[in-house]
Amino acid sequence: MTQVISRFEDLRSALTGSVVTADDPDYDEARREWNGDIDRRPSVVAYCVTAEDVAAAVVFARDASLEISVRCGAHSVSGMSVGDAGIVVDLTRMNDVQVDPVARRAVVGGGALQRDLDAATQAHGLAVPLGEIGHTGVGGITTGGGMGWLTRQHGLTCDNLVAAQVVLADGRIVRADADENTDLFWAVRGGGGNFGIVTSFELALHEVGPLIQLGMLFYGMDRAAEALRVSREVIADLPPDVSFEVVAMHAPPAPFVPEEHHLRRGLALCAVGFGAEDAHRAVVDRVRGALPPLFELVTPMPYVELQQMFDEAYGWGTRAYEKSLYLEGFTDDVIDVVVDGVGAMAPPTSAVFFYDLSGAYCDAEDASTAFSGERTPRLQVFILGMTPDGVPLTTERAWVRGFYDALAPHGIGRGGYANGLGVDDAHRVPAAYGTKYARLAEIKAAYDPDNLFHRNANIIPAP
Ligand SMILES: Cc1cc2nc3c(=O)[nH]c(=O)nc-3n(C[C@H](O)[C@H](O)[C@H](O)COP(=O)(O)OP(=O)(O)OC[C@H]3O[C@@H](n4cnc5c(N)ncnc54)[C@H](O)[C@@H]3O)c2cc1C
């Protein structure tokens, strides 16, 4: 024991940042994950502040045979970023964002949150596509793919990665871009945290906002099948500047929701406009004209607010269990399954997100990144069984599994989005990457032959 403690003292003195162990008063805070269902006890949490700190922590972990977890936003639903008895390489203090508005580039610390990046880029009327919750980490989103409201206009987050600084398993700090370490550059765009720890991301930016148009129209379950058919029609010919998403949820007790509909189960059809107001209004009018909603919220909104719209509803401590898959679209068969599945969703927190992936998502070459999804139009479905902090997930877990099993026969593509794989989905990783898996396994063997970075959607090094 004395030996282990003295080793942690070595780590403490090797880092510019700080170290927390079970003996420290802030240990319980330091081992928290976003998912309140995860309760793990690492031996040590290393709060890194420089790439050299990260390298020192990796070398320390190797020498001490400690299992490594890498933590940015801590939103891995399966809790990959904190393990029992190992070391957590925490990047959250590496959250600096530098924006060059002329070159339209952002250099982002490997531990930044989406909201840090959105705030810095929007100060210049710029943005990069990210996910839809502000407290999610740029690290996990970018290395795994990254889809959200801007994906139809500007692709995935990883499509916008220009360069990365990476700490490798042997402690070296390298650059990966279109000219240097090109295989690593390919792999970190979608292959997850398998190849090293990214200490800084350089991302391409686009003109966005600062005001966007939100149109959210809500339907009860009695009109759910019709609402999904309308969604199918609207998605088929969306204007380029409008994104579309369906969210199955319970209506929140928010001021824009009439009291009689508070906590009503249903579908929110969401159209977000990034261009001319008329184009967005035409989509909203079309939805409303085809099927009058129970209530709606149609308003201009700052882009940064859109990016934090769900932050409170899915705050830290929420318990979560998820499964996900790709669908070709809302076919009649899919609609039947969705209506049944959403009909069985327990209140108040669970949700199902259907992201329309089309437009710029499909413009990228499938082979240009390691991303786990072909570039044909599709819906990304996240089925999230969630309960408020402290409430067990028993019913929700069974509901997610049942709903997923019913939808799976209609799934398309390789095996799903790597960042949407659940805690019991490790066997789906090879299928998720399909023909890319063999190349990823070769690159893994070159950069991390001992599979030091395995707490992720794990690629096994090629022999
Ligand atoms: C509430 C919620 C909303 C979400 N919304 C979306 C969404 O809209 N769009 C979407 O695409 N996904 C979404 N996701 C899924 C999300 O992409 C993944 O959970 C992602 O891993 C979260 O990143 P993080 O940095 O917060 O996670 P963490 O738990 O910190 O990290 C997860 C894994 O990512 C890797 N990783 C993290 N940072 C780095 C780094 N700097 N270098 C190398 N590897 C790293 C590690 O392998 C780590 O185990 C959502 C998840 C949640 C819980």
Residue 196 identity: G
211-420 shares the fold of 97-208+432-447: no
Candidates 149, 103, 102, 98; CA nearest to 128 is: 149
Q: What is the pLDDT of residue 3?
A: 56
Q: How far apart, in whole angstroms, are the C-alpha atoms of residue 281 and residue 106? A: 32
In angstroms, what is the span from residue 161 Cα to ligand 1's centroid? 16
Q: Given this model, what pLDDT does residue 414 score?
A: 66
Helix ranges, 81-198 (H): 114-122, 138-144, 151-154, 182-188
Mean pLDDT of the residues in the chain? 96
Query: Which CATH code for domain 211-420?
Result: 3.40.462.20
> What is the distance between the alpha carbons of residues 85 and 80, in angstroms, rounded to a whole number?
13
Instruction: Using the atom order of ligand 1, give the atom closest to the CA of residue 91.
Output: 41
CA dihedral 29, 457, 402, 253 (to 10 degrees): 40
Ligand 1 mutation target, pool 45, 70, 243, 372, most atoms within 8 A of CB: 70
Q: How far is CA 244 from the centre of its chain?
A: 18
What's the gap in Å between 49 CA and the centre of ligand 1? 20
Q: What are the tokens at 347? A: 């209140």
Residue 256 CA to ligand 1 center (angstroms) comes to 31
Q: What are phi and psi of 432, to 5 degrees?
A: -60, -40
- Mean per-residue pLDDT, 131-140: 98
Confidence (pLDDT) at 1: 47
Q: Which long-range contacts (CB under 8 A, 24 or more apart) does 219-222 make?
A: 219/266, 219/267, 219/269, 219/291, 219/293, 219/294, 220/261, 220/264, 220/265, 220/266, 220/294, 221/265, 221/266, 221/267, 221/339, 221/342, 221/343
CA distance 212 to 243: 11
For the record, the structure tokens of 109 come out as 């610390």
- Identify the three-state secondary structure at position 78: coil
What's the 133 CA to ligand 1 centre distance in angstroms? 11
Instruction: Identify the residue whose tokens are 């936003």.
Output: 73
Q: What is the pLDDT of residues 277-291, one digit of tens each?
A: 999 999 999 999 999
Is the Cβ–Cβ distance between 234 and 287 less than 8 Å? yes
β-bridge partners, 220: 266
Q: Whose CA is nearest to atom 23 of ligand 1?
A: 140
Calpha distance 110→113 (Å, rounded): 9
Q: Which fold has domain 97-208+432-447?
A: 3.30.465
- Answer yes or no: CATH 3.90.1300.10 is held by domain 2-90: no
Q: Which residues line ligand 1 (CB under 6 A)?
A: 34, 70-77, 80-81, 91, 110, 131-133, 136-137, 139-141, 143-148, 192-193, 197-198, 314, 419, 455-456
User: Which pLDDT does position 5 carry in this prediction?
Assistant: 58
The token duo for 69 is 């977890």
pLDDT digits (tens, 9 = 90+) for 325-345: 999 999 999 999 999 999 999
Q: What is d(CA 73, CA 156) in angstroms, rounded to the nearest whole number? A: 18
Atom of ligand 1 nearest to the CA of 33: 29
> Whose C-alpha lies nearest to ligand 1, atom 36?
140
Check whether 165 has a pLDDT greater than 50. Answer: yes
pLDDT on residue 413: 77
Nearest CA to ligand 1 atom 51: 75
Question: Amino acid letter at 238?
Answer: L
Could you report the per-residue pLDDT of 17-47, keeping only the tens digit for each?
999 999 999 999 999 999 999 999 999 999 9
Structure tokens at 203: 């991302």
pLDDT tens column, 4-19: 657 899 999 999 999 9
pLDDT of residue 7: 85
Of 142, 59, 136, the residue nearest 106 (C-alpha) = 142
Tokens 């309760």 correspond to what residue? 39
Q: Where are the domains of the chain?
A: 2-90, 97-208+432-447, 211-420
> Pairing between strand 242-250 and 295-302?
unpaired
Asked whether the beta carbons of 425 and 386 are under 8 A apart, the reply is: no
Ligand 1 atom closest to the Cα of residue 166 is 42
Confidence at residue 290, expressed as pLDDT on a 0 to 100 scale: 98
Contacts of 28 (CB under 8 A, 6+ apart): none
Q: Which of 94, 159, 352, 419 to mutate to test the pocket of ligand 1 (most atoms within 8 A of CB)?
A: 419
Atom of ligand 1 nearest to the CA of 314: 1
User: What's the CA-to-centroid distance between 72 and ligand 1, angstroms?
Assistant: 8
Give distance in angstroms: CA of 177 to centre of ligand 1: 21
Percent with pLDDT over 70 in the chain? 98
DSSP 194: G
Identity of residue 51:
A
Residue in 215, 344, 349 with CA at minimum distance from that of residue 274: 215
Residue 113 alpha carbon to ligand 1 centre in Å: 10
- Tens of pLDDT, residue by residue over 360-419, are 999 999 999 999 999 999 999 999 999 999 999 999 999 999 999 999 999 997 679 999
Which residue type sits at 115? R
Q: Report the phi/psi class of residue 74: left, alpha or beta, with left for phi > 0 and alpha for psi in -120 to 50.
A: left
Please, are residues 45 and 31 in contact by the beta-carbon 8 Å criterion?
yes
pLDDT of 131: 98
- The backbone torsions φ and ψ at residue 193, rounded to the nearest 5 degrees and listed phi first, read -85, 25
Q: What is the pLDDT of residue 132?
A: 98
For the chain, what percent of residues have pLDDT higher than 90? 97
Q: Which among 117, 169, 183, 173 has a CA at the least distance from the CA of 146? A: 117
Q: How does residue 125 score in pLDDT terms, banded at 50, 70 and 90? A: very high
Q: What are phi and psi of 207, to 5 degrees?
A: -70, 125
Q: How far is CA 296 from CA 73, 87, 257, 338, in A?
A: 32, 47, 8, 22
> Is this prediction's pTM over 0.95?
yes
